Structure 1
Amino acid sequence: MEKRPAGRVLYSSRFLCVGACCPDSPGRRGIRVSDLRRDFTYGQFDQFSAFFDPFRDQRNAVISA
């Protein structure tokens, strides 16, 4: 049985917490990252990212990758 990734967002009046559980297969078919330069191609590798729009203008964002 293959496990699927799951994410959670928790918040209070002071904090925002974002987390994920991303199961992986062992060995060479596992997590793939071949490049971590600033502007690498995102769509080709395993990743988890969180995007926030703190100004609520749909133009500016804070990204945690």
Structure 2
Amino acid sequence: MKLYLIIASFLIVQFSNAQEAYNTSTPKVWSLDECIAYAIENNITVKDALLNTNIAEVNYDRAKST
């Protein structure tokens, strides 16, 4: 009987937390400029290109110093 009470209490707490999170979080409306800025900032291809540029600079500096 105690196990059922513990499980029921846990489920009630989880359900109330889920409801609270749902009620307090309103979806954000994004403008086109915000969408484009987010896409550029989080684009994997852009990040990969920046890393490749950094690697090339390090390799250049290393080759120059030897």
- Decide which structure has greater strand share: 1
Greater RCO structure (CA 8 Å; 6+ sep): 1
Q: TM-score, normalised by structure 1?
A: 0.23
- Decide which structure has greater helix share: 2
Q: Which protein has the larger Cα radius of gyration, Structure 1 or Structure 2?
A: 2
